[in-house]
């Protein structure tokens, strides 16, 4: 019940295209859903986050879509750029805790 | 601020040796987290502290692992004795308050031969 399942494992997108990464969870007690971006040799960094009372959140080219009934959430990167090439992790926080349960990660490569 | 500081950045040791990883959180942050990252298991939370007190250590793999936070500006993760399966990148992260953004350090790459 504490897992977050992420797909795809890897993604190749052409510059200017849309990158979509999906995550699903089973524990309905999760109440905070951040996405982290990690470049090689660096620690993860928060990209964008959403709470379950909102169905969508947009920050620049990055959008989180959240489907509470389906227990799924996704990251959309519009107009993908080579600089977006990184590994992306979805995560979720169980209610009443401060923990982050991470998905398995998606390696995104954006080619010019 | 310099961000979360971890040392050493790389550690190579032999099986059976004691390893100590160090972390300095961002000043003023009340929460400190230790994670382990491997290809097989991804990013796993090992333990986290609030105001220097361990809150949840359910992710600590076994008794060989221990973590301390003697004051607000320093934490250690110790592995004794180390084993090859402990080879991983260990991250420390801190956050200002509950449910706030976690800021990760650059990590310590541990190799146990």
Q: pLDDT of A10-63, one tens digit each? A: 999 999 999 999 999 988 889 899 999 999 999 999 999 999 889 999 999 999
* Minimal Cβ distance to A99: which of B48, B101, B104: B48
Q: What average pLDDT score do residues B99-107 get?
A: 93
Q: Which two tokens stand for residue A47?
A: 């990209």
Q: Which two tokens stand for residue A71?
A: 């227990």
Task: Give the model's pLDDT for residue A1.
Answer: 58
Task: Give the model's pLDDT for residue B32.
Answer: 97
Q: Is the pLDDT of residue B41 over 70?
A: yes
Interchain proximity A98–B99, CB inside 8 Å = yes
On whether any CB of chain B is under 8 Å from the CB of A41, the answer is yes
Q: What average pLDDT score do residues B35-44 get?
A: 93
Most B CBs within 10 Å, among A43, A53, A97, to test the B interface: A43
CA distance B43 to chain A (A): 6
CA distance B104 to chain A (A): 5
Most A CBs within 10 Å, among B43, B88, B105, to test the A interface: B43
Average pLDDT, chain A: 94
Q: What average pLDDT score do residues B98-105 get?
A: 90
Q: What average pLDDT score do residues A57-73 get?
A: 95
On whether any CB of chain A is under 8 Å from the CB of B91, the answer is yes
Task: Give the model's pLDDT for residue A52.
Answer: 87
Interchain proximity B102–A93, CB inside 8 Å = no
Task: Give the model's pLDDT for residue A47.
Answer: 97
Q: What average pLDDT score do residues B43-57 get?
A: 96
Which residue of chain A comes nearest to B39, CA vs CA?
A104
Which residue in this structure is represented by tokens 């050493």? B8
């Amino acid at each position: 019940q504490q897992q977050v399942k992420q797909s795809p494992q890897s993604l190749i997108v052409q510059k200017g295209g849309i990158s979509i990464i999906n995550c699903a969870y089973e524990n309905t007690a999760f109440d905070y859903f951040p996405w982290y971006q990690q470049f090689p040799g660096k620690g993860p960094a928060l990209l964008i986050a959403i709470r379950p009372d909102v169905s969508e959140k947009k920050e620049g080219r990055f959008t989180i879509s959240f489907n509470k009934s389906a227990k799924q959430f996704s990251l959309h990167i519009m107009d993908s750029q080579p600089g977006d090439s990184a590994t992306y992790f979805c995560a979720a926080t169980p209610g009443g805790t401060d923990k982050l349960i991470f998905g398995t990660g998606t390696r995104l490569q954006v080619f010019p | 601020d310099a961000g979360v500081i971890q040392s050493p950045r790389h550690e190579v040791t032999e099986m059976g040796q004691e390893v100590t990883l160090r972390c300095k959180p961002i000043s003023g942050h009340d929460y400190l987290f230790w994670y382990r990252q491997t290809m097989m298991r991804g990013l796993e939370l090992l333990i986290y502290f609030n105001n220097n007190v361990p809150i949840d250590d359910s992710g600590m793999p076994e008794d060989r692992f221990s973590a301390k936070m003697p004051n607000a500006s320093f934490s250690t993760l110790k592995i004794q004795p180390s084993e090859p399966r402990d080879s991983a990148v260990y991250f420390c992260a801190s956050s200002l308050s509950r449910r706030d953004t976690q800021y990760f350090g650059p990590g310590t790459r541990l190799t146990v031969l």
